[in-house]
Each structure stands twice: as structure tokens, then as C-alpha cells.
Structure 1
Amino acid sequence: MNATAFDPKEFVASLPLQPGVYRMLDEAGQVLYVGKANQLKKRVGSYFQQSNLSPRIRLMVSHIARIEVTVTRSEAEALLLENNLIKSLKPRYNILFRDDKSYPYIVLTGSPSPRLTYYRGATDKRNQYFGPYPNAQAAKESINLLQKVFRLRTCEEGVFNNRTRPCLLHQIHRCSAPCVGLISAEDYATDVRNAGLLLQGKFDEVEKRLREAMEQAAEAMHYEHAAALRDQLQALHTVQQKQFVESGRDTDADIVAVVEAEGAICLNLAVVRGGRHLGDKPFFPQNVQGQDSAEVLEAFLAQHYLESNVPSLIITSAEISDETLEALLSEQAGHKVQIRHAVTGERRQWLEMAQGNALLALRQQAGLQAGQALRLEALRTALSLPDLKRIECFDISHTMGEATVASCVVYDDLAIRPQEYRRYNIGGITPGDDYAAMRQALQRRYQKLQAGEGKRPDLILIDGGAGQLGMAVEVMAEFGLSDIALIGVAKGVERKPGKEQLLRPGAEKPLQLTPDSPALHLIQQVRDEAHRFAISGHRARRGKARTTSSLEDIEGVGEKRRRNLLTHFGGLKGVQQASIEELARVEGISPLLAEKIYQHLH
């Protein structure tokens, strides 16, 4: 159905008074907006009947070429479908939040000598999980503080199972060395239990247990043990002073505050678990022009919580009118979830703190954007590209030709855009041929652009010299994209930051900016990010290849036995450090096969 054939009145008249999801599309078939409705006919019709629509919505309506609808059994089902579509389609008029794949947890593993560690990913019923924490720094800081009090091990299973003497962490009083039996299994289990209680916010209970144990040890004249418990108590009090805001109640809550200043919006998520304020995380949503705080909050709650762990209490800075959301979150979580705006006392203090942090993040973001605007304008002038906005940068990483990986990072709208990064595993070339690797990466990146898909960059940076730049010129000519500016970023003779030479196709001499040039600083920022992204991808690919090939080459070691070995020893390094007797203890590994594995790896 094209734009001229679309009749809004006729279309709305055909809609049912049932719940569902609607998708508004333009002439090119791009989704403009996804919404839900309790009654599709009334909700969709309101876009064409109301005269008080915001300028943003009026602009959207003017581009509608057709509307698609999906009828659902309930408004709750419509809400789920709406947010799945928003995340997958990213419509230009919907409020969008960056889709963080997971939040960090602190984990106590279920092994005989449990390990304290930082973790992201799917949970395992055999372990205890505490969190989620709003960011990695908050989780790692908590682990560091817990190590000072309880000295739990943090090492991998492969390292733990193969220790013959205490490690450095024991020497600096951060581990009690259960690996070599310097603490009894009973005492270590007690420390694990107390650490779990503290992570749940039960400080008073932990303090009481430690004090009682200390007094009992003193009465039994076990003075060394009593002194160790006394030191734990002192460390516990130090941790309490350094730890985040403490609450007198054992409460799990998230505080979500929205602040607007100078036309920009920041949403701040603060996390309280077991009465402890674990920290917060700012979000800067896209497509929020003309939206009020309540609409931004509702969009965040739906996008963030429908696939995440939900606490029993969510405190918001604006009132949420959608009762369906609270009921659906309760159903998803398996427990009652309350969304509250009017709070007093301690909860009010939490909310005010979240609002203050949101305002601080907004000001910091404004400062960063001002600096980026200065850098970008300087680069536009230096390269004579007045319309420069989007930059894509490529780098190649390998170890003597092994596991070659190419990276592409994106800078757009005054910021690095990690969600648009891409890595390319390079194959089918002569190992170490950087020119061929660059050609393959560029071809795979821009063949879609030639077909009319993807976003067009204004500038492409190539981390390399004249050879890599020449290869890029050839590829862009093949695809008919020679009008896109290309720059080769060569490190220069001294290979020092600030001495970079900018190579341009057809130019006799390279352009060399001064070390304090804002334009050069922007190029360095994007180039360094491409380098980091390529190296991390290469290391991961190389490690996987080496782990697989080292064991796959052994006759009699199939996929199951290989998995058992890696799981038992915590990785290839642990397998390499194991003795023949230790290898033979793994399920499916006979003494004869253990000897064969040992001989192969050594």
C-alpha cells in the first residue's frame, strides 16, 4: 500500500476494539514508531483526530505511508510484543535506551571451597548470586572489601586445584589459602556463610556471629583464633565505614530518576540490595524530544525490566499511570512488584540522591559533548569537510599472521558508538598479509552500503600506511563509493603519539597536525579505540583456536572428553599444569590416555 492509497479514516474504521501493537511505516518501509494499545481503534485513531499533537508527533504522522497491526490477547501481551519490536527495530520516533546485555553479579560458587568472583551472564542454581550491581566498578569494589574481611579465594578452579604453596594474595592477607589447607574446611565454610550474609545486607547478624565466636575462642583459651576473629571484626567495621550508603532495613529496591536540563535528558538507575546502596548508572535515551518525564520512565521500565531481574520495589521520580506494567512485572518476576512515586523518609533520600546524580551526569555529558564538538569542528576545518559527522575507522590485528581480526569502530553524533562496532574474522588470505586483510574487511563492510543498506560514513580512517590506504581506495572505487573521504593514519618515523602523519589519496605530502591539535586528538581517540577493539577480538580468537587445536590433535580426546578436561582444570593452562595422575582423575580419561595427553602437551 503506497502513501497515496493510504486512507487513515478508512483504515481506523477497520480496526477492532481489542488490545494489540501497531507499527507505523514510511514510504520506504522503514518503521517510524511502534506502540501498544488496549483498544487499537481508539489509540490509532487519536493520531489523526487530535489537533493538539506535539510538533514531533505531527512530523511523524506526516510521513506515515501505512500502518500494520497485531492483535493480542491482552494488554500485557501487547506490552511484551511492543518492547521486543522496539529493541529489534529501533524505530526513529520511539524512546530508545542502550540495550545492556547483562549486569554484573558477585558470585559464591558451589564447590567444596567456594570462590568469590565477579560474573556476567546466565545464572547457575549451584551458585549463590548477589546483585545485580549497576556497574562493574561497584561489584569489584565490593569483592575487594570482602576479601579484606573474609579472605575468600578468587582464583580459577584450574589454579586452585594445582597449587602447592600459597599465592601472593595469601601473603598480603587477602586469601586464607584453602588450596593448601592453611584454613580448615569448617572455618572456611563459616567465612563463606558470613560473606553471604553481609552481601545480603545482614551486617548486624555477621557482627553478632563473629563476636560470639571470638568470645568462645577466648574462653577456650584459643587465643590465636580469638585474635584472628578480632581482626575480622575490626576489618568488618572498616568496611562498613567505606561501604556504600547503609539502610537500617533489609530492602531490595531500584530507584529510577529522570532529570532534564537545557533540552537534554538523563535517567539514573540506583540499586539498593539488602539495604545497601550499591551505586548507580546513568542512561541517555534517544528520541526524547517533546517527551515528558513519565513517558521516558515508562519506556525505560518496560525496556529494562521485562527481560531482567526485578526487585520488589521500584521508586520513580514521576508517577507512572500504566497499571498494566506493574502487574506484568509482578507476573514476570514471580513476586509482587510495586512502582511507587510518593515516598518519604529514607526512600525519599534515595530518590533525591538519584536525581542529584542524574543532574551531575547530565552536566558531565554536556561538558564532554562540548569538547567533542570543538574537536570535530577542528577536524572539519583541517580536512576541508564542512559536513563531517560520521567517522568509521579500521584496524587489523594478528600475531605473525595467526587469528587475524579486523575491527571497525564508529564515531557519530559527537560520540563513540560501541553498539555499531563490528569485528571481521579474516580468512582465505596469506598469513600476515595486512593489505589483503584490509581489503576483505572493507569489502564485507561496504558491500551492504552499495546495496543501499546501512549508514554512510563521511570519513573513513585506515590505521596504516600508504599500502593500506591504496587498498582502501581500490575497494571504494569498486563499490562506487569514491566520494567518501579516506585518510590513512600512519604512526610516523618516530612512532610516537602526536607524530602521526595523515595520508590522503592523491596528495604528494602527508598532512601532519600539531600535537596539541583538537583535530588530531579526535583522530587519535577513534584510531586507539579501533586498535583496542581489534586486539581484544584477536586475542579471543587466538586463545580459542589454540585451546581447541591443542586438545583436538590428540587421538582419543573427543568433544566430550575435551570439555571435561577444560571444565575440571579451568582451561587449557590448567590442563597443561596437571600431572598424569591428576589427568586420570577426570571422567572419561584412562591412565593410558592421561599419559598420552601429558606427553602431547609437554
Structure 2
Amino acid sequence: MSEENLRNERLKELVRVLPESPGVYQYFNSDGKIIYVGKAKNLKKRVSSYFTKRHDNRKTEILVRKIADIQHVVVETEEDALLLENNLIKKYQPRYNVLLKDDKSYPWICIKNEPFPRVFSTRRVVRDGSLYFGPYTSVGMVRTILDVIKQLYTIRTCGYNLAQENIAKGKFKVCLEYHLGNCKGPCEGFQEEEEYNEMIAQIKNILKGNLNSVTSHLKSVMDEYASSYEFEKAAEIKSKLDILEKYRSKSTIVGASITNLDVFSFDEDEKFGYVNFLKVVDGAIIQSHTIEMRKRLDESKEELLALGIVEIRQKVFSNSREIVVPFSPDTDFDQINFTIPQRGDKKKLLELSQKNARFYKLEKRKQQSLRNPQNKVDRIMETMKTDLRLKEAPVHIECFDNSNIQGNYPVASCVVFRNGKPAKRDYRHFNIKTVEGPNDFASMEEIIFRRYRRLLDEEKELPQLIVIDGGKGQLGSALNALEKLDLRGKISIIGIAKRLEEIFFPGDSVPIYLDKNSETLKIIQHLRDEAHRFGITFHRNKRSAGFIKSELDNIPGVGPKTVEALLKEFKSLEQIKSRSVEEIAGVIGQSKAEKVISYIKSNRSKSVNK
């Protein structure tokens, strides 16, 4: 029996003895390395599916071929399986699993586990019994909260070990913070630990978003001071209440009826899934966080959402019993009620969360584009290839447009785009040579033939796509030219009609309509507009030059070479008219200069008499 058959038989045996219970399964390769971790409501049924189903995803097929061993862990519930799966993925980072981005760089607010605890921001979570609140995606939010706490409470900032025996021995002296009134001097025993811990309890409530309990406590203290005529102390408490109200107003208020709620939303692209989290306490959003998960296999959005919920709730230590979601995750969570709202405040919260997930996705795309602009170009080229049914990506595109007024001064333009952007050095103008009168179809055939006859003769690269500014008629004329050059079918060609942005294909009488927001249509419109602008400019200049020449050609005794010398020096008829005899004589001589000035003066007097 071959080695491959032996492997298959062994795997069948392992699958056969799997229990029909919730649990986690681990796939190992021939080197004994974990390559995939998964969770299942029914281990036997889930693992069997890898070996009995035909997989559409090529990565899954490769994974199955690399499995050399299977191990499993049985747990009580599907939620336990999801938690264990999440921890194993983070520990081993298997090649074929969703890659969870680590959030170590995000700041937390720490209440240190020590006598007279300090409150400070940190990016490092140490499991020493200290309390951590976060993570916060905004450093500005952390500073705001710490500033509010500093205004409300006299918390120490020093790093002394304020154990009672150290204070009793007089090891420390009060610092400047004490003299500024920012600390009550617990280092020298000027503040009781019980009083200090009461402040810490209120700070915990603020960080949890429980502002109502803090304000209630402060109001009762203020009333006590006022009833005992200690009005200065009551005024101090009043100012603290004002600070809390100002802080509360900065939070997004939803509705007082929503007390303790988690909101999760989901967005995705081809390679990543994004899960956003909002924490709502007492009608206010006190926390927002988004994670990014790189897809490895063909994971469903339900799987990714479930994994994101577990990951975020572990990080922020959330224990909310209600979670608002856009759809049900693929895992049953114990003692958690999932809500998919259809209207009201919860629906608005979900929409806000979805907006945050979408903005996070767009921001990541922008960052990726800045780091590697070629990725964006490649994506756009592939999109155009699909939208326009092309054989290859249109890295090199050329667009043609005709321009004439009643058949006079007929010209054409060719603009060139490379990687979706104008390559202005390669733009070309054409004077129509063989066509008499206003015939756009014949003019288009002429310039297409001349353009690609020359590229073939000079052995230069041909474009992957030609865009004709016009409908079926002009597209047919361009095809005739390509036929004569034996290029039909070798270069893709389309026409774009101006009025309805219809895209015409050779041999297809029915146009297609691209989404008005699609990148493909925007690039084609840019091509068309550039060709039109470039052609109109050339036509205007030619028409203007023709008018000037015809005007100067009417001067008796002044020939074409003299006219050309004048235009070369003075550029326009208006400039010539504004010059003195001496200036013009310096270019064409005194005799001809006098004839020019005499003609200009006589024309001027005729126009005045009219």
C-alpha cells in the first residue's frame, strides 16, 4: 500500500472514533506542526465533512492534502469550543486559520493593584491583579478621561510603595503635587486609605460608564455639606458635578432606557473581515473598537463575526448579557441574548457600528494603497478586465475623438493612458488628409489606420484596449481600419456613446451600462474627456491660425514666407496690430512693414465707419 493510501486509512480511523460532541479539532502536517484549528458543535460531523465533501476553495483542498494527524478536545458547550479555538489560534497562529490582528499598540487605562492605587494610561497589560479599562482606539479619549479624573479626584502620581509600614517609618516626603493641591499626601499619612479607596471606587464607575452612580453620590455629599452650612465644600462638589456633566455631554447619547449593551457589526472584502464593537452604558457609548481578521480559507461571515465577538469581549472584559448584531453568528453563546433590531435606538446603534466598520475598512485600504500603490493599480486593471470582458488587463489604453466645424479644419486626437492614468507625452494630434467634408466615420477610419500602421512599421507596442468616442457607426469604421491591418480580434475595442454613457462592443447591437460609481466607467469617461479636450484645443488653435493667415494673406505685396515670419515672431494678429512700424520692420524690412501697417490702419477705419 502506498504512503498516501496509508495516510488516508489512518485519517479515516481517527475520524471514525471522533465523538458527536462540541469541541475543538486540530490538524497537524507531516512535521507535527499545527496547520489548522477549528471548533464544532458536532466534532464527528464537522471533521468528516473535510474528507467527504468536494471543496470549491482551492486552499481548503490543499489543507486537506497536508493533514497527517488529527487531535481533538471535547468541551461542554459550543461557546466553550469557540473560546478554546480563539485561544489556540492566538497561541499557535496556524497557517490556514483566520489571522487575528494583535491590539498591543492600543492604550488602556490602568488602576494599579497596590496601596493607594495610581490611575494611568499604558499600552502594556500586566496580569498582576491590576484593573485595565479599554482598549481605546483614540489616545485623545484616554487623555480626556484622565483629565476629567484629575479634575475630580486627588490621585497620587508618584511610584512610591505606600505600604503602611513604609508610611509609618516616614520614608517619604510630600512633593510639589501636594503643594499644588493635586494630591493629599498619603505618603506622609495625611490621607486615610479608606477615603482614597472611596475615590478609586468612583473612578471605576466612571471608567465603566456608570456616571449616574457617581453623580448620585456626589449630590448626596453636596447636600450634606449644604445642610451643615459648609458652602465652600458644597461649591467644590458642585463644580465636580459640572465637570461630569460636561464629560457626559461629549459621549454619544442614545437613550436612557439602554443600560448595558454590546453592539457588534461586520464588514468584509476579499481578504479581510472587520468586526466593530460599541459599548453602551446608561444610554451613552463609552467605547468603540474594531479588529481586522485575515481570511485563510473560505470562512463565512457568521464564523468571522462569532470569532470577532469572542476576541473583543475577552479583550475588553465585557459581560453584557445582550448583544446587538446584524445577523446571527454561527455559535450559540450561553446566557447571551442576540438581538437583530429592525427599528428604534438599537437599530441606530447598529447602523453607527456598521459605519465604523466600513470606515475602518476604507482606512485600511488607503493605508495599503499608500504602502504599495501597485496593488491598487492591479486591482483596477483586473476590475476593468472583468467589466469589459477583456482577454488581458488594459494596462495600455488609447482613446480617439474627431473634431470639426461643418467640415472645416477637420482634426482628430489620440490620448494614451497607462495603468489607468494619462501618459501625456504619448498624446497625438492628427490632421485629416483624405476625407472631404464633415464625415466622422471616414475620418475615424483614416486616423485608426494611420495610427496603427505607424506603430506596426516602427515595431512599437500595441494597446490592450482602444476606446472610440462615438457609437456603433464610428466603432464600425474603426473596425474596418483594424481589419485592413489584420489587427481585428488582436486588440480589444469598444465605443462609448456620449448621451447615455452606453458601452458598445463589436458585433453586439445591445450596449451595456456600467454602474455610474464603477472605477471602470470613471476611467473610460476620463479617457473620453481627455480626448475631447485635447482635440478641441488643437482644433481651436488650427482654426485661429487659419483665420490669421487668411487675414494676412490679403495684404498686397506680402507673401506666405513673410506671414510665417510675422506669426513666428509675434504669435497672433492682435500682437502684430499693436506693434510699431519699426518693430515690424525689424522682422520683415521697412517696405513690407509699411504695407502691413497701412493695411491694418485701412481695415481699422473701415470697421469704425461701419
Q: Which moves more between the two structures, 64-73 or 301-310?
A: 301-310
Change (3 A) 1:168 1:152: closer
Q: Say if 2:250 is the partner of 1:242.
A: yes
Change (3 A) 1:321 1:369: closer
Q: Say if 2:108 is the partner of 1:104.
A: yes
CA distance in 1, matches of 2:50, 2:315: 30
Letter of the 2:331 counterpart: D
Change (3 A) 1:70 1:2: farther
For each residue in 1:17-75, what CA deviation from the matched residue of structure 2 results, as whole angstroms up to 9, or x when unmatched? 433543334455544322233444432222233236434423433x3342413363645
1:370 maps to what in 2?
Answer: 369
CA distance in 1, matches of 2:254, 2:191: 31
CA distance in 1, matches of 2:157, 2:284: 23
CA contact (8 A) 1:288 1:296 kept: no
Change (3 A) 1:282 1:39: closer
Letter of the 1:195 counterpart: I
Partner-residue secondary structure (3-state), 2:46: helix
Match of 2:74 among 68, 72, 75: 72
CA contact (8 A) 2:273 2:295 kept: no
1:352 maps to what in 2?
Answer: 351
CA contact (8 A) 1:17 1:42 kept: no
Q: Which has the larger radius of gyration?
A: 2
1:268 maps to what in 2?
Answer: 276
Letter of the 1:226 counterpart: A
Letter of the 1:198 counterpart: I
Shift of 1:347: 3.1
CA distance in 2, matches of 1:91, 1:34: 7
Compute the TM-score of the two structures, normalised by the length of structure 2. 0.50
CA contact (8 A) 1:134 1:278 kept: no
1:6 maps to what in 2?
Answer: 7
1:530 maps to what in 2?
Answer: none
Within 5 Å, which residues of 2 pair with 1:320-469? 320-323=329-332, 326-327=333-334, 336-342=335-341, 345-374=344-373
For each residue in 1:54-97, what CA deviation from the matched residue of structure 2 results, as whole angstroms up to 9, or x when unmatched? 34423433x33424133636455655554443233322221121
Change (3 A) 1:250 1:108: farther
Match of 1:290 among 288, 298, 308: 298
CA contact (8 A) 1:177 1:183 kept: yes
For each residue in 1:200-229, what CA deviation from the matched residue of structure 2 results, as whole angstroms up to 9, or x when unmatched? 434344334434443443454433223322
CA distance in 2, matches of 1:287, 1:311: 27
Shift of 1:123: 5.3
Q: Say if 2:126 is the partner of 1:121.
A: yes
Partner-residue secondary structure (3-state), 1:7: helix
CA distance in 1, matches of 2:149, 2:41: 49
Residue segments in structure 1 that go unaligned for 5+ positions in a row: 328-335, 378-602
Q: Say if 2:298 is the partner of 1:300.
A: no
1:43 maps to what in 2?
Answer: 46
CA distance in 1, matches of 2:175, 2:227: 31
Residue segments in structure 2 that go unaligned for 5+ positions in a row: 377-610
2:157 maps to what in 1?
Answer: 154
CA contact (8 A) 2:40 2:46 kept: yes
Q: Say if 2:98 is the partner of 1:89.
A: no
Change (3 A) 1:364 1:154: same
CA distance in 1, matches of 2:247, 2:12: 67
Partner-residue secondary structure (3-state), 2:36: strand
State the number of aligned residues: 361
CA contact (8 A) 1:199 1:274 kept: no
Q: Which has the higher contact order (CA 8 A, sep 6+)?
A: 1
Change (3 A) 1:139 1:106: farther
Partner-residue secondary structure (3-state), 1:281: strand
CA distance in 2, matches of 1:164, 1:71: 57
CA distance in 2, matches of 1:190, 1:303: 32
1:318 maps to what in 2?
Answer: 327
Change (3 A) 1:121 1:175: same
CA distance in 1, matches of 2:201, 2:67: 62
Match of 1:131 among 130, 133, 157: 133
CA distance in 2, matches of 1:375, 1:182: 65
Q: Say if 2:239 is the partner of 1:231.
A: yes
Partner-residue secondary structure (3-state), 2:157: coil
Change (3 A) 1:319 1:170: farther
Change (3 A) 1:290 1:104: same
For each residue in 1:204-260, what CA deviation from the matched residue of structure 2 results, as whole angstroms up to 9, or x when unmatched? 443344344434434544332233223222222222223455752574443322212
Change (3 A) 1:295 1:166: same
For each residue in 1:99-152, what CA deviation from the matched residue of structure 2 results, as whole angstroms up to 9, or x when unmatched? 4579834427663x554334633253xx7x463444583444322221122333
Partner-residue secondary structure (3-state), 1:248: coil
1:518 maps to what in 2?
Answer: none
2:433 maps to what in 1?
Answer: none
Within 5 Å, which residues of 2 pair with 1:532-571? none
Change (3 A) 1:251 1:123: farther
Partner-residue secondary structure (3-state), 1:45: helix
CA distance in 2, matches of 1:73, 1:232: 50
CA distance in 1, matches of 2:341, 2:41: 27
Shift of 1:370: 0.9
Compute the TM-score of the two structures, normalised by the length of structure 1. 0.50
Change (3 A) 1:245 1:181: farther
CA distance in 2, matches of 1:194, 1:40: 47
CA distance in 2, matches of 1:2, 1:304: 44
Shift of 1:344: 5.2
CA distance in 2, matches of 1:215, 1:72: 58
Q: Say if 2:214 is the partner of 1:206.
A: yes
Shift of 1:158: 4.6
Shift of 1:296: 0.7
Match of 1:254 among 254, 262, 272: 262
CA distance in 1, matches of 2:173, 2:248: 35
CA contact (8 A) 2:209 2:286 kept: no
CA distance in 1, matches of 2:314, 2:203: 30
Change (3 A) 1:158 1:247: farther
Partner-residue secondary structure (3-state), 2:7: coil
Letter of the 1:107 counterpart: I
Change (3 A) 1:32 1:193: closer
For each residue in 1:425-452, what CA deviation from the matched residue of structure 2 results, as whole angstroms up to 9, or x when unmatched? xxxxxxxxxxxxxxxxxxxxxxxxxxxx
Shift of 1:368: 0.9
CA distance in 1, matches of 2:75, 2:219: 58
1:60 maps to what in 2?
Answer: 63
CA distance in 1, matches of 2:81, 2:200: 44
Instruction: Report the aligned-residue RMSD.
Output: 4.1
